[in-house]
Structure 1
Amino acid sequence: MKTMPIDQSQALVILASEPRPRFKDRDGREPAIDRTTGAHLHQVDVMFAFNGRAEVITVNVPEPGLGKGLKVGMPVAFTGLVASAWENEINGKDRHGISVRGDAVTAKAGA
């Protein structure tokens, strides 16, 4: 799977939700596991503002990469932030999208 790094140096990134576990199934029974680290994955929603536009995106982060004391509304920074294209066939329909992953998320220094 090809990945593209995301430069956040000129962006404002604000935590929009508390980190929550990610699951493979809709019923929330099977935790999603990070292929790189083997750790449980968590999802973090952030407002990503750049060039006068803002989007809320969901970023997947392995559990050990979740910074301490993260609170909604605080500026955050990611290490190893990348975007990856994906596609699947689900119930006979082709689905595709972009997944965003970070190695870690922490409160932004000086915030």
Structure 2
Amino acid sequence: MPIDQSQALEILASEPRPRFKDREGREAAIDRGTGAQLHQVDVMFAFNGRAEVITVNVPEPGLGKGLKVGMPVIFTGLVASAWENEINGKDRHGISLRADAITVKTAA
């Protein structure tokens, strides 16, 4: 599901960091579409008087130049996907966020 960011404020809350498939950090997570390593970024997402910190996966080529914590940012191709799996006999589910790119938001 695409996410409309037109009325939201997004502030970079963490430097991009590599995403891994395993907890030990030995196997890099790869983007299926591009074949590039995925990175995670935390962003303060404010909309309609509420704010949350969200984590978004972005392929390495989509990491914009000059990203610094506290800067307003914008995502290109931001989508939410539901996921579900079973771990140790327990059903788990959630929402994963992915974008094609993240860049510093410039004044309109």
**TM-score, scaled to structure 1:** 0.95
> Corresponding residue for 1:17?
14
SS at match of 1:72: coil
Partners of 2:32 and 2:91 in 1: CA distance: 23
Alignment coverage as a number of residue pairs: 108
- Aligned residue among 59, 65, 85 for 2:82: 85
| Structure 2 residues without counterparts, runs of 5 or longer | none
1:45 aligned partner, one-letter code: D
- Aligned residue among 3, 18, 22 for 1:6: 3
| Structure 1 residues without counterparts, runs of 5 or longer | none
- Aligned residue among 96, 100, 108 for 2:97: 100
Partners of 1:35 and 1:95 in 2: CA distance: 22
> Corresponding residue for 1:49?
46
SS at match of 1:73: coil
SS at match of 2:27: coil
Partners of 1:92 and 1:62 in 2: CA distance: 31
Q: Percent identity?
A: 89
Shift in Å at residue 110 of structure 1?
Answer: 2.2
Which consecutive aligned stretches of 4+ in structure 1 deviate over 3 angstroms post-superposition?
none
Over residues 39-58 of structure 1, what are the superposed CA-to-partner deviations in whole Å (9 max), with x where a residue is unaligned?
00000000000000001000
Shift in Å at residue 76 of structure 1?
Answer: 0.1
Across the aligned residues of Structure 1 and Structure 2, the Cα RMSD in angstroms comes to 0.9
> Corresponding residue for 1:64?
61
Partners of 1:38 and 1:94 in 2: CA distance: 29
